[in-house]
């Protein structure tokens, strides 16, 4: 993990230490999150806060803020008097996440496509390009860009609750997206499917979009069922 030397020095010259704490918490969040989603922090592993704070070169204040946010995202779980643990991946979790996504996301994307402006089209194209560019770097970045692309397809619908729900489900899916993309050939297939989704969305071809997005999510679920040994 990276460390942040000079936390105390970073506070100098700031109007309040709160800004610094939030900034550090964000950086700690990003580093620990990447460790979890890429599997470098294993399932059910305890988070040893003293050691982690020392390793990162930060105090416990920003660390606790970051850990609380990671729990809210579903990556950690906390137990009274025992602290935080990495939330385990499971076949049941995959089924629940993707069943919800399949039931909500395709229609929400179609609803958004019908109402999207040219500015919305530009933002979705930019999200696709970021995802396309991330494919050659690391899977943690790909997972974040994948989430941003899928969320961008529904945001122009203007339904805040729907958008928040889909983004939340996409966040919970990120570790599974990484697991899904690891076998050879999956990334190429995902890229082609995302390109087709983008084209259908911009063309406002809602029937095709619903069908393709449903199939895209179902294929991912089917692959993950095999990886997790579930024949559901």
Cα dihedral 79, 85, 89, 93 in deg (nearest 10): 30
Which CATH code is given to the segment(s) 7-86? 1.10.10.10
| CB contact burial 147-156 (16+ within 10 A = b; e otherwise) | bbbbbbbbbb
Q: Which residue, 207, 139, 204, is CA-closest to 175?
A: 139
pTM here? 0.79
pLDDT of residue 137: 63
Predicted pLDDT of residue 164: 94
Q: What does the pLDDT read at residue 182? A: 81
Contacts of 156 (CB under 8 A, 6+ apart): 112, 113, 115, 116, 117, 120, 124
Give the position of tokens 């800004």: 19
Burial readout 66-86 (b: 16 or more C-beta within 10 A, e: otherwise): bbebbbebbbbeeeeeeebbb
Q: ∠ CA 24-39-149 to the nearest 5 degrees?
A: 70
**What string of pLDDT tens digits covers the 232 residues of the chain?**
555 544 444 444 344 455 555 688 888 998 998 888 878 888 888 999 999 999 999 888 899 999 999 998 888 999 887 899 998 888 999 999 999 999 999 999 999 999 999 999 999 999 999 999 886 667 778 888 999 999 999 999 999 999 999 998 998 898 898 888 888 778 889 999 999 999 999 999 999 999 999 999 999 999 999 988 755 5
Q: Domain 91-227, CATH 1.20.120.530 — does that match?
A: yes
Domain layout of the chain by residue ranges: 7-86, 91-227
Strands (E), 11-99: 76-79, 83-86
pLDDT of residue 4: 55
Hey, is 166 helix, strand or coil? helix
CATH fold match for the domains 7-86 and 91-227? no
Whole-angstrom Cα Rg for the chain: 19
Q: What is the pLDDT of residue 35?
A: 86
């Amino acid at each position: 993990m990276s460390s942040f030397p000079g936390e105390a020095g970073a506070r100098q010259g700031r109007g309040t230490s709160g800004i610094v704490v939030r900034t550090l918490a964000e950086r700690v969040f990003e580093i620990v999150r990447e460790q979890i989603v890429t599997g470098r922090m294993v399932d059910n592993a305890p988070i040893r806060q003293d050691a982690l704070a020392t390793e990162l070169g930060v105090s416990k204040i920003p660390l606790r803020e970051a850990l609380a946010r990671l729990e809210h995202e579903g990556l950690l779980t906390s137990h009274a008097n025992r602290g935080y643990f990495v939330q385990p991946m499971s076949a049941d979790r995959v089924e629940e996440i993707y069943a919800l996504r399949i039931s909500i996301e395709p229609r929400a994307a179609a609803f958004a496509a019908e109402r999207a402006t040219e500015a919305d089209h530009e933002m979705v194209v930019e999200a696709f390009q970021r995802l396309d560019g991330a494919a050659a770097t690391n899977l943690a970045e790909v997972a974040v860009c994948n989430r941003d692309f899928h969320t961008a397809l529904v945001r122009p619908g203007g339904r805040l609750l729907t958008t928040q729900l889909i983004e939340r489900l996409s966040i919970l899916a990120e570790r599974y997206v990484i697991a899904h993309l690891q076998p050879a050939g999956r990334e190429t297939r995902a890229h082609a499917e995302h390109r087709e989704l983008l084209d259908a969305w911009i063309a406002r071809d809602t029937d095709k979009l619903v069908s393709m997005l449903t199939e895209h999510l179902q294929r991912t679920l089917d692959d993950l069922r095999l990886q997790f040994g579930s024949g559901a």
